[in-house]
A and B are shown apart, each in its own frame.
Chain A
Amino acid sequence: MDAGAAMLARLAGFTATLRDNGFLVGLAEAADAARVLASPLAARPAWLSASLRALFSADADDWKKFDEVFAAYWLNRGVKRVTKLSGAAPKGPRTLRQLAESGAPSGEPQAADSPQRQGDDANTNPADRTGRREGASRAELLARTDFRHIADPEALAAAHDAAARLASVLRTRLTRRDRAKKSGRRLDLRRTIHRSIGRGGTPLDLVRRQRRTRPLKLVVLLDASGSMSLYTAVFTRFIHGAMQSFRAADAFLFHTRLVQISDAMRDANPQRAIDRLSLLAEGVGGGTRIGESLAQFVRWHARRTLTSRTVLMIVSDGYDTGEPGVLGAAMAALHKRCRRIVWLNPMLGWEGYAPVARGMAEALPHVDLFAPAHNLDSLRRLEPYLAKL
């Protein structure tokens, strides 16, 4: 029948619109939608809307934006072909892409409350005296250079790769440790009884169960404010590596507000990942409200992303321009929710730096490991700590 065919064509257009708006619509859903259209539920727009919403939504976000897409498509034909709802924020003045492309910026950190940099030469830091690694010398040199001093884009890319490699090393270390476990704790009755049949029912061979352990989950919160701008590019790539190689990882970026970047960073192509990120990260390079951002994380994301097997990694210099007290309270709440909190502070690697900034002082009591992260060596030194958890 013609009317039926026209209806189906309209439905196909609707599923395409939904896909454009980020809904996951498969063939099975479209087929079921056709059944709904043929049923009495199609008699009234409100019923149809409710039915299709139940069918096509996959999570609370879809649920909330569905009505708008539905109204735009079915009730005002031709007004808007695609309703742009999927949260693509306009490009900010300084995007991560620009940050990444510019390599290491030339100037000093711009934030008003930046500390005086005393030990300018990163090669004087204690790590280098113990650095006695074999292998490619170029890599070793890079490993020790403070991220601030990496100037040419190639070197920056190499630093990026090294960070990505490190993330995968962390992961394999963690799983290998799990495999080394030998004796099981519990008796596996099912297999024991199977074995006992051959011995006339006497369970002579006891089969034990090994508790399977899983690698830790990593959640990274990256401070992308102005005072951190020298490090943002490198850590973005570090996060990209971590998202690719950890089985479970989540990443967030904050400056004056918090943005979840896990989806963007899961893109296997690093350049595309950075592109997608720059769409999300409006306002990168501005001031920092660490306290508010973390509080926002506690309120909206912590329950979903943090588990008892999660290591929360916060990369920030601790220069907070928000209200005092908020950061401390948020950290206390976070500490209850995850296994360990690692705070990486790039400035800790600078000679003569002491964590006296108010934000840092507020956060410190709740931090399990406070470590420098100004060069690749310092990232590597986290490895034994994480492997022990």
Chain B
Amino acid sequence: MPLTRDQIAERLAAVGYIADRDLATALLLMDMLSRPLLIEGEAGVGKTEVAKALADVHGTNLIRLQCYEGLDQSAALYEWNYQRQLLAIKAREGADAEDIEAAIFSERFLLARPLLAAIRQDTAPVLLIDEIDRADEEFEAFLLELLSDFQVSIPELGTITARTIPRVVLTSNGTRELSDALRRRCLYHHLDYPTQDRELRIIVTRVPGIAVALARQVAGMVAALRREELAKVPGVAETLDWARALLGLGVADVGDDPAAVFETLACVLKTQEDRARISREVIGRIAARVA
């Protein structure tokens, strides 16, 4: 039973993901058109979280494939369990070669990697293909084929057709240009850093026990930091860490305790350069402005 747009938005909020306005539409379209969703955006805007929340919304498993350079079929799709195969061959020594071959290339010796696992589930899972831009072009082409047919052929075993079609979410950081074919195949959603208002709601939802006043100040400070020219712009995870740190130190108002704010900057500024740029005075000014 397909959900409506508002239901999706509500359920996303219920599982702790505060979506931006149009994400629910994109997620609804995914189901309606059975297309994968490609999410792009800076590091730390919550791309991966979308897939996790989606799995929660639909009450299914999340199967994650982390891409990296050199990722190949044997790590993404399936692999034979060689050690067991060797043992089985030894155990059957003297038997007919054909029988041995039939025995060791059976399901029992097959190790399903994420992509194969995703199409063999009983209920359609959410398949997260994370950072697809890190994998190489060959893998991208292979993935395109899988995403259109949802079947896998294993030479020794035959063709495995998908039991259920997974909901596929791809994320990309833009370290490499993706092929036009893949982009066209997918729905597209661009995630930006959350607006100050949305970030406030995220903090309140995800950091239990935080006062709204403090959450608002943290959101304001992070928004101000993002406007500075930083080498590594803080993402949502950094914001949450910072909010937790300030809460843990018992800070109720950043205006009262600029020292604590400066000391906890390690939560949001992750390079030496950025630490040097945001001096005690700069962060003091920012804190005073939001206090």
In angstroms, Cα B32 to Cα A299, docked, is 38
Please state if B183 and A50 are interface contacts (CB–CB under 8 Å): no
Is A36's CB within 8 Å of the partner chain B?
yes
Please state if A189 and B175 are interface contacts (CB–CB under 8 Å): no
With A29-B184, A40-B4, A304-B174 in contact, is A189–B82 under 8 Å at CB? yes
Please state if B82 and A193 are interface contacts (CB–CB under 8 Å): yes
- Kindly specify which of A57-65, A123-131, A160-168, A265-273 makes contact with the partner chain: A57-65
Please state if B190 and A51 are interface contacts (CB–CB under 8 Å): no
Is B90's CB within 8 Å of the partner chain A?
yes
Least CB separation from B176: chain A residue = A304
Is A198's CB within 8 Å of the partner chain B?
yes
Question: Which residue of the partner chain, among B21, B93, B188, contacts A58 with CB atoms under 8 Å?
Answer: B188
Please state if B86 and A203 are interface contacts (CB–CB under 8 Å): yes
Please state if B175 and A304 are interface contacts (CB–CB under 8 Å): yes
Please state if B32 and A47 are interface contacts (CB–CB under 8 Å): no
Least CB separation from B178: chain A residue = A59
**What's the least CB distance linking B121 to chain A, in Å?**
25
**What's the least CB distance linking A238 to chain B, in Å?**
22
Least CB separation from B229: chain A residue = A299
With A58-B183, A196-B89 in contact, is A303–B174 under 8 Å at CB? yes
The contact size tier of chain A is 35 or more
Least CB separation from B186: chain A residue = A58
With A41-B25, A304-B174 in contact, is A55–B187 under 8 Å at CB? yes
In angstroms, Cα B87 to Cα A203, docked, is 12
A26: B residues at CB distance < 8 A: 184
Is A325's CB within 8 Å of the partner chain B?
no
Is B224's CB within 8 Å of the partner chain A?
no
Is B40's CB within 8 Å of the partner chain A?
yes
B180: A residues at CB distance < 8 A: 24, 58
Interface size on B, residues (CB 8 A): 39
Please state if A63 and B35 are interface contacts (CB–CB under 8 Å): no
Least CB separation from A61: chain B residue = B190
With A36-B32, A51-B29, A307-B176 in contact, is A59–B183 under 8 Å at CB? yes
Please state if A32 and B35 are interface contacts (CB–CB under 8 Å): yes
Is B85's CB within 8 Å of the partner chain A?
yes
Please state if A63 and B190 are interface contacts (CB–CB under 8 Å): yes
In angstroms, Cα B33 to Cα A40, docked, is 14
**What's the least CB distance linking A24 to chain B, in Å?**
5
Residues A13-66 near B (CB distance < 8 A): 24, 26, 28-29, 32, 35-36, 39-41, 47, 50-51, 53-55, 57-60, 62-64
Least CB separation from A198: chain B residue = B97
Question: Which residue of the partner chain, among A57, A60, A62, A201, contacts B93 with CB atoms under 8 Å?
Answer: A201
Question: Which residue of the partner chain, among B40, B100, B175, contacts A201 with CB atoms under 8 Å?
Answer: B100
With A189-B82, A203-B86 in contact, is A54–B40 under 8 Å at CB? no
Please state if A54 and B25 are interface contacts (CB–CB under 8 Å): yes
In angstroms, Cα B64 to Cα A137, docked, is 62
**What's the least CB distance linking B43 to chain A, in Å?**
10
Classify the interface of chain A: helix, strand, loop or mixed. helix
Least CB separation from A190: chain B residue = B80
With A50-B22, A50-B26 in contact, is A24–B176 under 8 Å at CB? no
A307: B residues at CB distance < 8 A: 175-176
Is B28's CB within 8 Å of the partner chain A?
yes
Least CB separation from B174: chain A residue = A304
**What's the least CB distance linking A189 to chain B, in Å?**
4
**What's the least CB distance linking A260 to chain B, in Å?**
11
Please state if A36 and B80 are interface contacts (CB–CB under 8 Å): no
Is B206's CB within 8 Å of the partner chain A?
no
Is B101's CB within 8 Å of the partner chain A?
yes
**What's the least CB distance linking A169 to chain B, in Å?**
24
Please state if A50 and B21 are interface contacts (CB–CB under 8 Å): yes
Is B275's CB within 8 Å of the partner chain A?
no
- Interface mask (B21-49 → A, CB under 8 Å = 1, otherwise 0): 11001101100110101001000000000
Is B113's CB within 8 Å of the partner chain A?
no
- Interface mask (A187-226 → B, CB under 8 Å = 1, otherwise 0): 0011001001110110100000000000000000000000
With A54-B188, A58-B183 in contact, is A36–B29 under 8 Å at CB? yes
With a 10 A CB-CB cut-off, give which of A64, A303, A307 has the most chain B CB atoms: A303
Please state if B101 and A197 are interface contacts (CB–CB under 8 Å): yes
Please state if B189 and A54 are interface contacts (CB–CB under 8 Å): yes
A62: B residues at CB distance < 8 A: 188
**What's the least CB distance linking A46 to chain B, in Å?**
8
In angstroms, Cα B4 to Cα A35, docked, is 15
In angstroms, Cα B185 to Cα A299, docked, is 29
**What's the least CB distance linking B10 to chain A, in Å?**
16
In angstroms, Cα B21 to Cα A44, docked, is 14
- Interface mask (B84-111 → A, CB under 8 Å = 1, otherwise 0): 0110011011100100110010000000
With A47-B5, A189-B82, A190-B82 in contact, is A57–B89 under 8 Å at CB? no
19 contacts between A and B (CB under 8 A): A28-B184, A41-B5, A41-B25, A41-B28, A50-B21, A51-B25, A51-B28, A54-B188, A58-B184, A58-B188, A59-B40, A60-B190, A189-B80, A193-B80, A193-B82, A193-B85, A193-B89, A193-B104, A303-B173
Given pairs A24-B184, A198-B97, 18 additional interface contacts (CB within 8 A): A24-B180, A32-B33, A32-B35, A35-B32, A36-B32, A36-B33, A41-B28, A51-B26, A54-B37, A55-B188, A63-B189, A189-B80, A189-B82, A193-B86, A201-B90, A201-B92, A304-B174, A304-B177
The 7 closest A-B pairs by CB, nearest first: A201-B89, A58-B183, A50-B22, A50-B25, A54-B26, A57-B188, A63-B190
